[in-house]
Amino acid sequence: MKTLQRRSRAGNIARAVALAVGLACGLSVVATSASADGGYQRISGEGSSWAANAIDAVRVNVRQFGITMDYNPSGSTSGRKNFLNGTVDFAASDIPFQFAPEDGSAPENPAPGSYAYIPVVAGGTSFMYNLKINGKRVTNLRLSGENVAKIFTRVITKWDDPAIAADNPGLTLPPRDIVPVVRSDGSGSSAQFTKWMIAMHKAIWDDYCQRSGRAPACGYTSFYPTVKGVVAQSGDLGIAGYVSQSFAEGAIGYVNYSYALGVQFPVAKVLNKAGFYTEPTPQNVAVSLLKAKINKDASNPAVYLTQQLEGVYTDADPRSYQLSSYSYFILPTKVAGQFNEAKGRTLGAVAYYMMCQAQQQSASLGYSPMPVNLVRASLEQIAKIPGVEVQSVDISKCNNPTFSSDGANLLAKKAPQPKVCDKKGSLQCPNGTGGLKNVPTAVKSGASGGGSPSGGTSSGGDTTVDGATGPGGITDTGADPATGDTVPSGVDGQGDGGTPEGGSAVDGSAGAVPVGDVVTTTLKRESAGLGIGLLVGLMILAMIFVPGFAWRRLGRRGAQ
Amino acid sequence: MQTKTALPVRDDERPSPTPREISSRRGRGDRNFNRGLSLTGISVLAVMAAVGLFLTIEAWDAFRAVGFKFFTTSTWQPDRRVFGVAAVLLFTVLIALLAVAIALPLAMGTALFIVEVVPSWLRSTFIAIVDLMAAVPSVVYGLWGLFFLQGQIIGLSRWLTTWFGWIPLFNVSGDDPTSPLASGTVYTASTFIAGVVVSMMVLPIACSVMREVFSQVPPGEREGAFALGSTRWGMIRTVTLPFGRGGIIGGTMLGLGRALGETIAVYLIISPRFDVSFHVLENGSNSVSSLIALRTPEATGFGLSALMAAGLTLFVMTLVVNFVASIFVARSRSGAGSEA
């Protein structure tokens, strides 16, 4: 009896082993066939979380060509460092290599001529916030640059501060604490943000630098210094995740615009030099970056194509957004370490895709497509990757919304002018921003006598239209196929430039694009979530009860 | 049936039996087995020593640069040569102690429940559930803490500080419980939340050690207690707990060791801060391992050396905890109390 039982148990074990081996073999067969597809090698990249949504979209899209690309959005500093260490094949960074960091951190010394920059995506660093008045979410907050600087340096610590009230005559903000949320990891967004603060509000920054114990190294920094009351989170996703939690009322953090769209939260409109409060829509970013000074010295790869943004900060165009910037790929131009020509071929294919096909979906993600001159320059840079299959890309076929026959940036040209109610001093627009474009916020009527008449009929008209469509669109998203239908037409409209006449009309349709997109994806996610939830529940039950029953079974058999 | 028994008859013809010579010489198989075991044992020690040596060598630069100030400085700016583990180490210990304080009663209760109360056919299911907790990766606990627990636990934190704020440990500066608009954010990303999450990870380890020991309680003593009219609780108090004291201490210390080194869950939850503070409910915390996880990707040269120094500190501290644990366990060996 005993031997028989032992034999049957041994048989079971043998069967289980066979099954496991078979599974492993099957998996490895699948894996090898996938990697063999198209002859592409798996490549890995690391860096900017600011640009990660755009890069991740590319990662998903190049899978159709059999390219497996890993991207780890662990922050620009980490990306550059691991590129230097040779542990990743390419890096994504919002700022170039830091040869002489101003914040006292160790200098980075890449070997000269071993790398090249290509700008891959443009976007705005937005200030996403979580604020409610009487339990209703505020979606139309406006902030001057000075107030932004003061909020992130703990000079202004309450939402009902008179300085913020001056920006928002239409809102009665609560006496709630402001909780600034900053990056805890080394981040290009922190670097760009502090650079902007130093250029525009140096005294505020210097004072903060002293208070945070960072002095005397008070230059711009990838490591945002913290004082009491400042919350630090890792990555754009960490900040967006923290600010969007229900407990985080009063929090405000700096993230790329795409993250605010992703979690469906509003962003603050920031005052520009022309006296208008703007948000970093793809169009506004395109306008702003016309003023970015791009280094044209192709003979010096250490600076070629890098950006000087001082012109953007002081741009007098009413549509400009001050914190617009480009983010870069750092590509290897020499074979070294684990990077070889086979990987170079794959990386080249990804880079070509990034510069051409990927640009047409940038706007729907919340980024701004690259202008034609930078795409051309980048395509030349890609040819320097060792092992690359040089493609002669017909730029006009990329469907990039910025391209026009005369070389001007079409997206910037067609960018709508801001509404009258966005002007400094006027009663603010009720329209929502960022990921809650369709949710207006009620504005105090008649708070400032001059405001609403100066807004005139156009402002009043906008209010009613938005009020009618906005909430309706949100409440019956579930069954309404109309929302789903508007998405592709909106995308088309944007690609072609949309309706040529009427600034506000273009604004409306373009604004609807990302929102519609987000709504449909969350719907899909929800229905999928139910199935997955059931599956997970079943698995957990199985894990809990199967061992118990199996034990009893075995025990009974042993007793026989 | 009856069998005939015969007394042994003395047989003088046979030679008297000589006792077999006792030799301590072992057979070849035994010797090989012995050698193999010693080799694995020594290699464990060798690996430990190698880790310590490597850390010391790598950390040497950092220690030489700041000397003893490494243990009294609380900021962390290695590139400016101003850095130390005073605050980080304090938060690490606070998180670990909190985790153990929460996990210890839970683990003990669970272990007693499984051993003494649960009907035997359900026992394996309960064991599987607890073991399942150990199998969950710590990043999952971290995400759970970050996205679920953090929002739910604010009420408890607020209650604690409202009523026990006079104890410095539970004090939260910058909070006004009387204001309806007070933000919950002052209670988030705190040492307390990190401690609660880590306690969930410590629980299964501590529980399984205790369960193992409790189940070895001699059934005779147990039944003896029942026979003397003891209730189940009386039996647990007088037999199981004294017998399992070593297991309780050992499991707790093991959990403490795990809590000290927990990385990713703490990394996800806390908002790093670098000033000395005992306010566990307050926003901001830190830990050596999460500092290493946060800074290593970005550190170059000297910064890495400073992180190695922090790692060495943690390594030594964990070793000390484990040694102390083993001393305790050896002194109060299981069953020692019940034999008296």
What CATH number should be reported for the domain holding residue A237? 3.40.190.10
Share of chain B above pLDDT 70, in %: 93
Q: Is B177 part of the contact surface with chain A (CB cutoff 8 Å)?
A: no
Classified as helix, coil or strand, A215 is coil
Q: Is residue A497 part of a domain?
A: no
Using a 10 angstrom Cβ sphere, with 0-12 exposed, 13-18 middle and 19 or more buried, the burial of residue B295 is buried
> pLDDT tens across A470-509, in order?
333 333 333 333 333 333 333 333 333 333 333 333 333 3
Surface of B (272-291) touching A: CB under 8 A: 272-273, 275, 283-284
pLDDT at B44: 94
pLDDT at B195: 95
Query: For residue A73, what are its two tokens?
Result: 């959005």
Q: Rounded to an integer, what distance in angstroms lies between the CA atom of residue B226 and that of residue A340?
A: 75
pLDDT at B2: 58
Q: What is the number of alpha carbons within 13 Å of residue A228 lying toward its C-beta? A: 9
Q: Strands A179-183, A251-256: parallel, antiparallel or unpaired by DSSP? A: parallel
Tell me the nearest-neighbour CA distance from A559 into chain B, angstroms: 15
Specify the amino acid at residue A230: V
Tell me the nearest-neighbour CA distance from A552 into chain B, angstroms: 7
Q: What is the number of alpha carbons within 13 Å of residue A54 lying toward its C-beta? A: 38
Query: Per-residue DSSP letters for A386-427?
Result: TT-------GGGG--TT--TTSS-HHHHHPPPPPGGGBTTSP
Residue closest to B192 by CA, chosen among B255, B296, B105, B285: B285
pLDDT at A22: 47
Q: ipTM score here?
A: 0.72
Choose among B272, B273, B297: nearest Cβ to A78: B297
Choose among B154, B185, B302: nearest Cβ to A106: B302
Under a CB-based contact definition with an 8 Å cutoff, are residues A282 and A366 in contact? Answer: yes
Chain B CB contacts of A249 below 8 Å: 183-185
pLDDT band at B177 (very low <50, low <70, confident <90, very high): low
Alpha helices in A140-218 (DSSP H): 145-151, 162-167, 188-200, 202-211
Choose among B125, B174, B187: nearest Cβ to A547: B125
Tell me the nearest-neighbour CA distance from B42 into chain A, angstroms: 32
Q: Is A374 part of the contact surface with chain B (CB cutoff 8 Å)?
A: no
Q: Is A246 part of the contact surface with chain B (CB cutoff 8 Å)?
A: yes
* Alpha-carbon distances of A206 from A184, A190, B80, rounded to whole Å: 20, 15, 18
Under a CB-based contact definition with an 8 Å cutoff, are residues A224 and A212 in contact? Answer: no
Domain span at A151: 113-434
Question: What phi and psi, each to the nearest 5 degrees, are found at residue B312?
Answer: -60, -40
Chain B CB contacts of A176 below 8 Å: 181, 183
> pLDDT tens across B40-78, in order?
999 999 999 999 999 999 999 899 999 899 999 888 888
Between B332 and B25, where is the model more confident? B25
Q: Is residue A487 part of a domain?
A: no
Choose among A106, A247, A251: nearest Cβ to B79: A106
pLDDT band at B259 (very low <50, low <70, confident <90, very high): very high
Surface of B (24-83) touching A: CB under 8 A: 75, 77, 79-80
DSSP letter, residue A66? T
Give the residue extent of every domain in chain B: 92-333
Residue A72 bridge partners (DSSP)? A46
Q: Rounded to an integer, what distance in angstroms lies between the CA atom of residue A114 and that of residue A351?
A: 17
Residue closest to A79 by CA, chosen among B303, B77, B79, B298: B298
Query: For residue B83, what are its two tokens?
Result: 């850095």
Helix and strand totals (H; E) in chain B: 14, 2
pLDDT at A54: 94
Using a 10 angstrom Cβ sphere, with 0-12 exposed, 13-18 middle and 19 or more buried, the burial of residue B331 is exposed
Under a CB-based contact definition with an 8 Å cutoff, are residues A155 and A148 in contact? Answer: no
Q: Is residue A172 part of a domain?
A: yes
| Strand order through the sheet with A277-278 | A142-143, A269-271, A277-278
pLDDT band at B322 (very low <50, low <70, confident <90, very high): confident
pLDDT at A490: 34
Residues of chain A with pLDDT under 50: 1-11, 13-14, 17-36, 447-524
Q: Is residue A542 part of a domain?
A: no
Between A554 and B236, where is the model more confident? B236
pLDDT at B36: 94
Total domains present in chain A = 1
Query: For residue A220, what are its two tokens?
Result: 């711009």
Under a CB-based contact definition with an 8 Å cutoff, are residues B208 and B128 in contact? Answer: no
Lowest mean pLDDT among A107-111, A403-407, B162-166, B294-298: A403-407
Residue closest to B338 by CA, chosen among B235, B254, B248: B235
Q: Rounded to an integer, what distance in angstroms lies between the CA atom of residue B32 and that of residue A134?
A: 78
Q: Is residue A552 part of a domain?
A: no
pLDDT at A11: 47
Between B8 and B64, where is the model more confident? B64
Alpha helices in A278-436 (DSSP H): 282-288, 310-313, 341-355, 362-365, 372-382, 410-414
Q: Is residue A400 part of a domain?
A: yes
pLDDT at A526: 54
Classified as helix, coil or strand, A330 is strand
Q: Rounded to an integer, what distance in angstroms lies between the CA atom of residue B17 and that of residue A521?
A: 91
Q: Is residue A402 part of a domain?
A: yes
Q: Is B186 part of the contact surface with chain A (CB cutoff 8 Å)?
A: yes
Taking CB atoms and an 8 Å limit, are B128 and A232 in contact across chains? no
> Which of A242, A247, A545 to probe by mutation at the B interface, max B CB count within 10 Å?
A247
CATH top-level class for B92-333?
Answer: mainly alpha
pLDDT at A6: 45
Tokens 């400094």: give the residue.
A424
Tokens 């890449």: give the residue.
A110
Lowest mean pLDDT among A453-462, B203-212, B243-252: A453-462
For the whole prediction, is pTM greater than 0.90?
A: no
CA-based nearest residue in chain B for residue A84: B300
